[in-house]
Amino acid sequence: MSAIARMVRLPRIFYGWWIVVAGTFAQFLAGGVYFYGFSTLVLPLEQEFGWSRAALSGAVSFSRLEGGLIGPLGGYLVDRYGPRVIVLGGVGLMGAGLILLAQVQSLLAFYLVFILLVAMGASVGISTAMPTAIANWFIRKRSRAMGFVYSGVGLGGAAVPLLTLLILQHGWRTALVVTGMGVLVIFVPLAFVFRHRPEEYGLRPDGDAAESPSSVGKASPERVGAREVDFTPGQALRTPSFWLISVAFALRTTASHGVPLHLIPHLVGQGFSNEAAAAALAGLGVVSVVGRLGFAWLGDFWEKRFVLFASTVLMSIGLVFLTLPATWTTIALFLIVYAPGYGGAPPLARAIFGEYYGRKYYGTISGFFAMIIMAGTVAGPLFAGYMYDVSKSYTIAFYAFAAANLAGAGLIFVAKRPVLGPRPPGGARPRPAMVSTRG
């Protein structure tokens, strides 16, 4: 028996938690290098090449467009072949892309390498594969497991000051080579931890014991809640809740992708040093862990859509503090209010799709979700960069982000859990019933 097989069958620690540990560490690296780390490149690239902030934002926006377009395909591949091979391929693209990005001399080359290698690798290998793996290994504890994994993204923000220091001392090209090599050296071993479904190893989700015949009909309410009905992608797409949540997240991601990219340039423009601005961005990531863990924990005990609604409202309120003159007081208020809501939404969204639509087609359904929310991930960074270029201020963009989040919260509030209707005569697949199981 292989070492991995022995670990999978280890009785004292459910193997799903090893996947959570690997996913958390991988998200930490990806958050620091890719999601938050790109913000550290904006000013150096602007100074060296004279590229506008709208042009630099476009690289991020179009990378989100690419991620959304390949989302359903990436999700299908994870459902079909499991997460391990997809993670390996994705991190290989990401690491190689970061190294090649250090060699670019033109905006077109920067776009091509960043979008086709770095972003595609991160999108498929991390954003799609890892939450699918977690959703397959957990049901009752899914929100908490997602919260731990996504806390890695927030903690990755702590790497921003280190990246900033590396860029200031050695230049952005050297920094990219170092981070690219780090991704390849660290990510590849982590990929081998991921496994597809617990049933393939004689286990059950959450580490539950197999039900004995005597336990049938005597399941606890918690156990009953863990039983699933698997929607096909077509059935999921016909439910109103899929569209309500997806559009809500498209609105939400205008801020969640626009603010981290532009926070350092915004604060430097307000008189902060590069190091201080980087510390504020790191604070955003670190404080968001409170929401990633706290809101995710609540999501396993309360109705997820209401918890998700609360986190999105907090984001909307917190954004208002960014429109005020930047001082450490206003930045602290922004972090205290905005960051927990900002952190809590991603694990809840991933968990709610597993709860609403099951595990069998989770990756594919999540891929369609990614395709829809790309409208916000594309528009947010680009809109903020454009507004700065025309007004030399981010104020209008931040107000627009706050309004978008408030509208998204309203959509989430009414996104009730759908159920499949009775199977029609002739054995055809049942159509989803447009009713809620939770009021």
Element (H, E) at 85: helix 83-101
Q: What is the mean pLDDT of residues 77-85?
A: 86
Checking if the pLDDT of 223 tops 90, the result is: no
Residue 308's pLDDT is: 93
Q: What is the mean pLDDT of residues 96-120?
A: 91
Q: What is the mean pLDDT of residues 247-252?
A: 93
Residue 237's pLDDT is: 93
The domain limits of the chain are 4-8+10-198+228-421
Q: What is the mean pLDDT of residues 221-244?
A: 77
Checking if the pLDDT of 435 tops 80, the result is: no
| CA distance to 96, 175, 263, 345, per residue, from 71 (Å) | 21, 29, 27, 19
- Closest alpha carbon to 241 in 144, 134, 357, 140: 357
Q: What is the mean pLDDT of residues 407-417?
A: 94
Whether residue 394 contacts residue 267, with contact meaning beta carbons closer than 8 Å, is answered with: no
Residue 301's pLDDT is: 87
Cα 106 from chain centre: 30
Residue 36's pLDDT is: 78
**What is the chain's Cα-based Rg?**
21
Whether residue 114 contacts residue 63, with contact meaning beta carbons closer than 8 Å, is answered with: yes
Residue 60's pLDDT is: 75
Q: What is the mean pLDDT of residues 128-153?
A: 86
Residues 100 and 118: their CA atoms lie apart, in Å, by: 9
DSSP string of 367-434? Answer: HHHHHHHHHHHHHHHHHHHHHHHHHS-SHHHHHHHHHHHHHHHHHHHT-PPPEE-PPPTTSPPPPEES
Checking if the pLDDT of 220 tops 50, the result is: no
Q: Decide: helix, strand or coil at residue 129.
A: helix
Checking if the pLDDT of 408 tops 70, the result is: yes
Q: What angle do CA 406, 409, 413 make, to 5 degrees?
A: 145
Instruction: Give me the chain's average pLDDT, please.
Output: 83
Residue 432's pLDDT is: 54
Q: What is the mean pLDDT of residues 190-206?
A: 87
Residues 282 and 43: their CA atoms lie apart, in Å, by: 17
Residues 74 and 285: their CA atoms lie apart, in Å, by: 27
Residue 230's pLDDT is: 85
Residues 373 and 253: their CA atoms lie apart, in Å, by: 7
The 10s digit of each residue's pLDDT in 365-385 is 888 888 888 888 888 888 998
The 10s digit of each residue's pLDDT in 318-330 is 999 999 998 999 9
Helices (H), 270-394: 274-299, 304-320, 328-357, 362-391
Checking if the pLDDT of 217 tops 90, the result is: no
The 10s digit of each residue's pLDDT in 298-311 is 988 889 999 999 99
Q: Decide: helix, strand or coil at residue 230.
A: coil
Q: Decide: helix, strand or coil at residue 312.
A: helix
What CATH class has 4-8+10-198+228-421? mainly alpha
Residue 7's pLDDT is: 53
Higher-scoring residue by pLDDT: 434, 166? 166
Checking if the pLDDT of 260 tops 60, the result is: yes
| Model confidence band, residue 430 (pLDDT cutoffs 50, 70, 90) | low
- Closest alpha carbon to 352 in 296, 414, 410, 421: 296
| Model confidence band, residue 224 (pLDDT cutoffs 50, 70, 90) | very low
Residues 160 and 283: their CA atoms lie apart, in Å, by: 10
Whether the predicted model's global pTM rises above the 0.75 cut: no
Residue 415's pLDDT is: 93
